Each structure stands twice: as C-alpha cells, then as structure tokens.
C-alpha cells in the first residue's frame, strides 16, 4: 500500500517504490533493514529505503580514502568546475527535488524550492571561492624570511543532517568540503531518506560524467543510531559536521574531541525577536509570522520568543493573533497553504506536552494550542503569554509555539534575549540607530546571527551560519566558514644564507 505512484515527480528523480539507502561512491548497495518513509500529511507510507550495514559503511570509507588521493591533488579551480556542473544539475532538478522536500519533510512547496535554491546558491558560492580563497602573507621580523598561511584539506568529512533541512544543510557542508579538497560521507536523517537518495543521485550523475574516482561522496542511511555512532567514533573521519539537538550534539562533541578531531556543531536555537515601540510594526508583524509559523516552527532559526515593549504589547498581540487566525493550514504541496504538518506524530506529542508544561507554569494560551481534528500531523500555530523565566521557555520545542512577554527598556530586552542556554539567531525591530548599535555591540545579543528589522530565520548563504553557547559554536555556509574544512598551516620560509632566530635569541654563537 505504498503511495509512491501518486507523486509523478518521484520517478523523475530516479526514485522507485523500493530504494537502496547506501551509496559507496560507485554503486547503490544498502542491504540493511528497509525504512518506510511516511507522508506527514497522513502518515501513509510513500516508499521504502534500505539502510547501510556496518560492512557497507566500511566499504564507503575505503573508497573515500582512495578518492581523496586524487581529489585533493586537483587544483581548487578545477574542483570548482565540477561544483559548477553540480550547480547546473541542481538547477535542472529544482522543481521535482523541491516537491520531494515538501512531500517528505512537510514544509510548503515554496520553502521546499527555497531549500534547493539554498544548495544552488552555496554551490555557486563555492565555485567563486575555488578561485579566490587565499591565505595571509605576514611580514617576517627576520631578514630574507617570509611567512604565509596554507589551507589544506582535512581528509574525510562526515556530515550528519537533520530532518528539517534534508537538502540544504548537506549542500552547505558538501559544497565547501569538496571545494577545499575533502571527500564527504553523508549520514542523512532516517525520516527523510528519499531526499537523501535523490540528492546523492544528482551528485552521482555529475561525478560519473566527469569520470571522477568512486568515493568522492558516499551516503549511509543508518538503522537507528548504529551508523551514526560508527561514524563519530571512527578516527578516519577527520571532521564531523553535526546538525541536530543539543543533547546529541554534546555526545558528538565528547566523542570526536576525545581524540582531537574536529567538529562543526549546529545544535538547538531558542531565537527571539524584540519589537521596540519605535519600530515599523507592520514590517515586524510580517517578519514574526514568517519566522514563527514558517516551516511549522521547525527551523533551527524559528522565532520561539517574542519580546514586546510594554507600550505596544496589547495592541501588537491583538494584530498578531488576528493574523494567526488567517493562516491556511494544509497540504504543503497545495497552492495557498502557509503552514504544513509537523514532521512526525512524535513532533505533535512534543508540541502538546510543551503547551501543557507552559500552562502548568502559568502560561496563558492566546491563540491555538490544539492538534487539528484530521489525519496527519497538523497542529495550530500557537501564541502563549508566559513569564520569560519559565522553564519551558528556555527549552527548544521544535513546533510552532511562540512565547511572548513584555519589556520596559532595551537593557531588559537584551537580558531576556541572552538568558537562554542557546545562542543561534536573534532580531530587533527598531528605527533607532542607538538601539541598533547597542544590539550588535559587546552588551548586545550574544547569538551567532544578530539581525535588525528582518526575521530570525531565512538567512542568506553568504554569511557564516551558526551560533554560540549550547548551539555549539560551529559556523557553516558563507564568509570564511570554508576554513573549518581545512588543516591550517603557518609556513615560514628562509630564502637567505643566514639563520637569524626570532626574538633576537643568540644560540651558541
């Protein structure tokens, strides 16, 4: 009773009712227990995808080690040419792939397409970087000496991605890791395996067209946690880039750092928007709607806390509640839908439990709070007025729940913004230049993403993406994030005939 045939775009992507979930860089293997992927609008099975066995994992690593030999020798601009072809292929497949993201994850089509666009954008960015990355040249204090920096690839990069951005987060990591000369092993989330298989097939086509060695990119979809655990404990994996919960991120960090390998961690966010009385309130309202209701509250960057200046608190909430009432909830693939379902039945449980906890802590539900009376994982977007110190407010619940509280002055608002353990994204709405600069300064937001007059979510790929504190400290995507995929060298060369020592030291003279 698979519903595969209802969706014609699946076959276009080379998928079928039964798929293999392990790509060793050349062949589709995957002889482990199959997973059944479900449609979040009705929890009906779409297709099956087999998992990778431990032996198959091993084969992937061996292929990658060989592929690294060739790939790391290729000049960066040549690697860039391959990435450019990859970009073209993602452009060609944007429509069906965006639909698949929407179907399997549950986000609306426009956001599904936007996610594929994010992969296209980062590939383009990586192509540009492949001709522009450079190290610094530093003046040496010694005569006939020169100091400069080198950036070499690390080797094998393991990328563990979450269900909510099943395509783009892999895209960010793979584009930069490949551009800098690494090979990539992808462990995709087990509830979105079709996106992982379809994405990998696109890479496979391009790599084969260029007759590249097998093993540049491998895919392992794991049975439960076994494959993920194998990947993080494997000393042959030089860098682990992990996106997911803080709890699992902590474990990844402990395991990987134990033997001094590297991580990029992008864990939980608990993002706030501050709205000052002097702000453009219409702009703020639209931004809050997108950031709190978009992706049904399942972005790392979703706005979960709203900090409103007292003088506008009542009137603004009235407008916001009115806007929440008009949000069309339904099939994410249908035109006009603004909010799709939550990803899993389990997400609905978490949503309901959080609302119960909030109520117990004195929270007042101003809008929403219920599961919809129909099949699938549909819930109402929810607004809860509550004390900003409440325990539940300091936790990340991956659902469309917005906690609101008033503030008196900017210092207090910033304090509230910073008082949670997470530190991913933050925004202020104000037209006052003094507040803006305070907000981005040393006593301002402690998050990795510090916005003014834009939502907390929907970052462009050009800036470094990531956050502080329990968010994990890693930076992915733009700016100089590419450096994290590299072994950094400070190189000092003496091209003279003397051996002057630094700091003026005389040794045995």
Chain residues in the site for ligand UN1 (CB under 6 A): 118, 164-165, 169, 243, 299-301, 457-459
Closest approach of ligand UN1 to the CB of residue 90, in Å: 16
CB of 22 to ligand UN1, least distance (A): 24
Token code pair at residue 303: 């706005």
CB-based contact 159:186 (threshold 8 Å): yes
Q: Are 449 and 465 in contact (CB under 8 A)?
A: yes
Among candidate residues 118, 204, 266, 396, the one labeled active-site is 266
3-state secondary structure of 15: coil
Which whole-number Å values give the CA distances from 176 to 93, 129, 131, 387, in the listed order? 21, 9, 13, 42
As separate numbers, helices (DSSP H) first and strands (DSSP E) second, the chain gives 14, 23
In angstroms, the CA 51 to CA 59 distance is: 14
Give the separation between CA 279 and CA 124, rounded to whole angstroms: 35
Q: Which CB sits closer to ligand UN1, 51 or 270?
A: 270
Which residues, 6+ apart, have CB-to-CB distance to 396 below 8 Å? 245, 246, 268, 269, 270, 304, 422
Cα distances (angstroms) measured from residue 331 to each of 192, 341, 374: 17, 8, 12
CB closer to ligand UN1 out of 172 and 313:
172
> Is the Cβ of residue 4 or residue 429 nearer to ligand UN1 in the bound state?
429
266 flagged as catalytic = yes
Q: Measured from the CB of residue 54, what is the shortest distance to ligand UN1 in angstroms?
A: 28
Give me the catalytic one of 22, 267, 300, 486. Answer: 300
Rounded to the nearest whole angstrom, what is the least distance from the CB of residue 72 to ligand UN1 in the complex?
Answer: 28
In terms of CB distance, is 51 or 243 closer to ligand UN1?
243
**Which one, 303 or 382, has the nearer CB to ligand UN1?**
303
Task: Please state, in angstroms and rounded to a whole number, the distance separating the CA atoms of residues 311 and 288.
Answer: 18
C-alpha distances (whole Å) from 147 to each of 153, 373, 494 are 20, 67, 9
Contacts of 36 (CB under 8 A, 6+ apart): 45, 47, 48
Query: At 299, phi and psi to the nearest 5?
Result: -95, 150
* Residue 300 among the catalytic residues: yes
Q: Which is nearer to ligand UN1, 444 or 458 (CB)?
A: 458
| Pair of tokens at residue 380 | 């109402």
In what helix (H) or strand (E) does residue 116 lie, and over which residues does it extend? helix 109-129
Q: How far is the CB of 172 from ligand UN1 (least distance, A)?
A: 9
- Residue whose CB is less far from ligand UN1, 181 or 297: 297
d(CA 124, CA 175): 9
With a CB cutoff of 8 Å and minimum separation 6, the contacts of 7 are 46, 99, 100, 103
Sequence-ordered list of residues with C-beta below 8 angstroms from that of 62, at least 6 positions apart, any chain: 215
Q: How far is the CB of 120 from ligand UN1 (least distance, A)?
A: 13
Helix (H, G, I), strand (E, B), or coil: what is residue 468?
strand
Instruction: Supply the minimum distance, in Å, between the C-beta of residue 99 and ligand UN1.
Output: 19
- Give the nearer residue to ligand UN1 in terms of CB position, either 155 or 473: 473
In the numeric block, the tokens 């994982």 are attached to 377
Strands (E), 144-196: 145-153, 156-160, 183-188
Q: C-beta of 362: minimal distance to ligand UN1 in Å?
A: 30
Looking at beta carbons only, is 122 or 312 nearer to ligand UN1? 122
For residue 86, which of 21, 178, 163 has the smallest C-alpha distance?
178
Among residues 171, 186, 169, 192, the alpha carbon closest in space to that of 237 is found at: 186
Q: Shortest gap between Cβ of 459 and ligand UN1 (angstroms)?
A: 3
Q: Which are the catalytic amino acids?
A: 266, 300
């Amino acid at each position: 009773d698979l519903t595969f045939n209802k969706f014609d775009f699946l076959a276009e992507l080379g998928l079928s009712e039964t798929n293999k979930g392990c790509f060793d860089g050349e062949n589709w293997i995957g002889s482990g227990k199959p997973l059944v992927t479900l449609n979040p609008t009705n929890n009906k099975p779409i297709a099956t995808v087999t998992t990778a066995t431990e032996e198959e994992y091993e084969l992937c690593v061996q292929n990658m080690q060989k592929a690294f030999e060739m790939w790391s020798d290729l000049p960066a601009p040549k690697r860039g040419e391959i990435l450019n072809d990859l970009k073209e292929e993602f452009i060609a497949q944007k429509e069906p792939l965006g639909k698949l993201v929407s179907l399997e994850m549950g986000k609306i089509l426009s956001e599904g397409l936007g996610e594929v666009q994010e992969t296209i954008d980062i590939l383009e960015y990586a192509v540009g970087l492949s001709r522009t990355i450079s190290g610094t040249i530093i003046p040496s204090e010694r005569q006939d000496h020169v100091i400069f920096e080198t950036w070499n690839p690390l080797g094998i990069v393991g990328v563990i991605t979450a269900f909510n951005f099943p395509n783009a987060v892999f895209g960010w990591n793979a584009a930069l890791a490949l551009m800098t000369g690494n090979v990539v092993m992808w462990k995709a989330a087990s509830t979105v395996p079709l996106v992982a298989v379809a994405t990998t097939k696109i890479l496979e086509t391009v790599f084969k067209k260029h007759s590249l060695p097998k093993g540049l990119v491998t895919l392992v979809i794991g049975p439960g946690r076994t494959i993920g655990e194998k990947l993080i404990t494997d000393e042959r994996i030089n860098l682990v880039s992990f996106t997911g919960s803080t709890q699992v991120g902590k474990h990844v960090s402990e395991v990987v750092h134990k033997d001094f390998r590297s991580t990029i961690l992008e864990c939980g966010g608990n993002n706030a928007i501050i709205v000052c009385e002097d702000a453009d309130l219409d702009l703020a309202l639209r931004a809050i709607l997108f950031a709190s209701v978009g992706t049904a509250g399942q972005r790392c960057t979703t706005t979960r806390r709203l900090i409103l200046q007292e003088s506008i608190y009542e009137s603004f909430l009235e407008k916001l509640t009115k806007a929440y009432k008009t949000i069309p909830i339904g099939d994410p693939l249908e035109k006009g839908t603004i909010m799709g379902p939550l990803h899993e039945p389990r997400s609905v449980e978490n949503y309901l439990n959080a609302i119960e906890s909030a109520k117990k802590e004195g929270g007042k539900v101003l809008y929403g709070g219920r599961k919809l009376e129909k099949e699938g994982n549909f819930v109402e977007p929810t607004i809860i007025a509550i004390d900003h110190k409440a325990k539940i407010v300091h936790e990340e619940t991956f659902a469309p729940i917005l906690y609101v509280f008033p503030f008196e002055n900017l210092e207090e608002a910033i304090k509230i913004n910073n008082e949670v353990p997470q530190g991913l994204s933050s925004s202020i709405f104000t037209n006052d230049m003094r507040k803006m600069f305070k907000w981005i300064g040393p006593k301002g937001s402690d998050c990795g993403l510090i916005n003014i007059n834009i939502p907390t979510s929907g970052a462009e790929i050009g800036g470094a993406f990531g956050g502080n504190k329990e968010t994990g400290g890693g930076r992915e995507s733009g700016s100089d994030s590419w450096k994290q995929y590299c072994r950094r060298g400070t190189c000092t060369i003496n091209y003279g005939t003397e051996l002057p020592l630094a700091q003026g030291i005389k040794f045995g003279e």
